[in-house]
Amino acid sequence: MRLLALTALGLVLATASGASELNPRQAHSLDLGPVRGSAYYTVEKDGLRVVATLAPSETAAATPLRVITTLASDQVVSFSVPGTRDGAAASVAFARRGDRVEVASTGY
């Protein structure tokens, strides 16, 4: 399982248009083309809790979607937006590496 998670993270980071480290309790902007938002994480007793809030970028009245996950060591979670007929999908992945969280995005 750990090898699979590390392999998935490696694939995301290898094709990423941007990869960076998140800081605890500090918002990080997310841009998945038609969907935008922000993410942050907090340190909890059972892991690093990542909170991402996403909403369609062109619909001001749309209700945002909040996704919350707690990452144990070496775990990865990703979100994606399907591509158009002519375009590739966009995705963002959060990976826990020790006591830090890395974020990588592909697509837009």
Q: Distance between CA 40 and CA 99 in Å, rounded?
A: 14
Compute the half-sphere exposure of residue 88: CA atoms within 13 Å on the CB side of its CA: 9
Q: What pTM was computed for the model?
A: 0.74
Higher-pLDDT residue of 16, 96: 96
State yes or no: pLDDT of 11 exceeds 60.
no
User: Pick the residue with more confidence: 88 or 96?
Assistant: 96
Q: Which residues pair with 91 in a beta bridge?
A: 80, 106
User: Rounded mean pLDDT of 69-91?
Assistant: 88
- What pLDDT band is residue 94 in, cutting at 50, 70 and 90? very high
Rounded Cα distance, 52 and 50, in Å: 7
Owner of token pair 């619909």: 59
